[in-house]
Each structure stands twice: as structure tokens, then as C-alpha cells.
Amino acid sequence: MQKEPPEPPGDVFQAIADPTRRQLLEMVADGERPVKALAESFRMSRPAISQHLRVLREAGLVTERKVGRERRYRLRAAPLREVRDWVRQYEWFWQGRFAALGQLLEDDE
């Protein structure tokens, strides 16, 4: 019997597009957290939080560890390098804007 190939990792940009998922990432950046503790910070059901965590897990942004009956999540920041690298290509734009603003402020003095 042939094994099915693993699913490709999810899209990091899609995963962080949702504000709830970004907040979950901030929470697990402080350390491993159980689903129950994560869900307490939101006004939505635990299954909804679990769905958000699944998207983050599929994108490789969190790891899941089972401890007894509890599932705990931890940040896996390496995939965020893709976001950092993409944003970095626009750094020249912001540097130019800040330089122009600095010049404008100096001219007003």
C-alpha cells in the first residue's frame, strides 16, 4: 500500500491575515498555552479557536503537543521569515518617506 504524500504547508500570509490568528500568535509567543487558556481571551467558541489554531498549524506557525487530554500550542516563528523577507523589499520606500518627512520638518524650522 502506497503512502499518500504529505499535504503542502499552508500559506503563511493567509494564516496571518486574520486578526484573531495574529492575536493567537502573540499569545503563544509568550510560551506554550493550552487551548482552554487561549479560548478564554476571545468571545467565540472553543471549536472556532481550534479552527484558527488548525490554520496556524497547517501554515507551520504553531506546533501542537498533547498532554493528557489537553492540547498545547507553541509558536514556531521560522515561517514568519517569509513575511519578513517580503516586507523587507519595501524598506526603501519607507526610508525615502521618512527622509522626506525629516527634510520637511527641518525646512519648517
Q: What is the 3-state secondary structure (H, E, C) of 48-60?
A: HHHHHHHHHHHCC
Pairing of strands 70-75, 62-67: antiparallel
Residue 2 pLDDT grade (very low, low, confident, very high; cuts 50, 70, 90): low
Largest CA distance in the chain: 77
Angle at which helix 19-29 crosses helix 46-58, to 10 degrees, equals: 80
Question: pTM of the full predicted structure?
Answer: 0.77
Using CA atoms, how far apart are residues 33 and 30, in angstroms rounded to an integer?
9
pLDDT in tens, 18-64: 999 999 999 999 999 999 999 999 999 999 999 999 999 999 999 99
By C-alpha distance, which of 67, 46, 50, 48 is closest to 58?
50
pLDDT, mean of residues 57-78: 95
Which CATH architecture is the domain 8-77 placed in? Orthogonal Bundle (1.10)
